[in-house]
Structure 1
Amino acid sequence: MDYPHQPEHVTLVITHRLLAGKQPEYEQWLEKVMPQAALFDGHLGVNILRPVHGEQTYTVLIRFDTLDNLYRWINSTQRHALIAELPAMLCGPEHIELRPGAAFWFTPPTPERKAPKKWKQFLITLAVIYPSTNLVPWFWGTVLPAAKGTLWGHFLNDASVVALVVFMWMPVVTRLLANWLAPRGKQNLESNDE
């Protein structure tokens, strides 16, 4: 059964805090779980946000095209078998969230840290989208002049911008600016701007 008004994709955001010394074992576990998820209908990709600054927290982002397809993966026997291996590696239960659309880029690295202010999300998104939407058409216009003003040229530009943002710019920028987006010391005590 399909749900009406679904977002263009949904993301399962999973946060795992590892026990000391379990990182190599957990990395091997990731190598098993990622190909398994990719076998399911509607799978759009996996991003792994690995710990920085000596932390032991991993954030795994698994994207699906619809809620139905994501639930099929969540409730699958394959996933349950893999999840059964986790308790020996974690120092607490896994934290799971469902995020519609592209909101997952601004998921804090740990459940204790709050999501960034809306104005920070706006600035980061603008900083990534603006140069991409200007440079990509220039690039394809130079390489494929026949594409200018055509429907397939617009598709090529849009597909390139989305690929750059999703697979390159957002993961890099949000990781580099993680402490500015969600400061560790202040814990974002002020309420988020809507």
Structure 2
Amino acid sequence: MTQQKHVTLVITHALKPQDAGTYEAWLGKIMPIAAQYPGHLGANVIRPADGQGMWNIIIRFDTLEHLYGWTQSETRRQLVDEITPLLGEGDHTEIRTEAAFWFTPPAPHVRQPLRWKQFLITLLVIFPSTNLVPWLTGMALPALKGSLLLHLINDACVVALVVWLWMPIVTRLFAGWLKKA
């Protein structure tokens, strides 16, 4: 049976800081290949803080079957084999099926951002989305004005924009600020 909810692959790699350049080059090679696999919805790289060596790669797929298509592929196995000598703790992967975990650290030793920072980042994407989407749908669908159906369409558009577009972009842009105490 095919799972319809999107799934996320969280990959954690421990490296020595001096290997960062080699690892970045490897990411530049593997990421476009992963993006070509069916169901690939996007990826984010969370680079380590200064002096740290823990890298986290978050890759989203539309179904569990498509995620497995990538993780169990011979192509991924060969690419991971290339970088394995640099990985201090191996290729650690975890599959998450939650709809969103923007502020949940992918590794237990990574501190979650302060609540007020989470609030500001969330407000940064929710406020413009909840004002712009109804304005646009109101212009595009004037016959539905004030209807429950239009509210549903607005809510669905806002949630989709926040989950798949704005939060991944904003959390990546503000990653350094979110990590600071």
What TM-score do you get using the length of structure 2 for normalisation?
Answer: 0.74
1:97 aligns with one of 80, 94, 101: 94
Deviations 1:133-165 (A, max 9, x none): 422225526xx8344437799758844653355
1:21 maps to 18
Higher fraction of helix = 2
1:64 aligns with one of 51, 57, 61: 61
Look up the equivalent residue of 1:177 and give its one-letter code: L
Shift of 1:83: 0.7
Contact 1:12 1:61 in 2 (8 A): yes
Deviations 1:33-84 (A, max 9, x none): 1111122111111111122333222110111111111111111000000110
1:189 maps to none
Equivalences for 1:17-166 in 2 at 5 Å? Answer: 17-108=14-105, 110-113=107-110, 123=119, 127=123, 130-137=126-133, 140=136, 145-148=139-142, 149=144, 158-159=156-157, 162-166=160-164
Percent identity (aligned): 34
Shift of 1:99: 0.8
Shift of 1:20: 2.7
Change (3 A) 1:124 1:153: same
Look up the equivalent residue of 1:40 and give its one-letter code: Y
Look up the equivalent residue of 1:28 and give its one-letter code: A
Shift of 1:13: 0.3
Shift of 1:21: 1.2
Over the aligned positions, Cα root-mean-square deviation in angstroms equals 3.5
Unaligned runs of 5+ in 1: 181-194
Unaligned runs of 5+ in 2: none
How many Å separate the matches in 2 of 1:67 and 1:146? 35
Deviations 1:72-125 (A, max 9, x none): 1111000000110122222222322111133342331544236679x8898578
Contact 1:15 1:58 in 2 (8 A): yes
What TM-score do you get using the length of structure 1 for normalisation?
Answer: 0.70
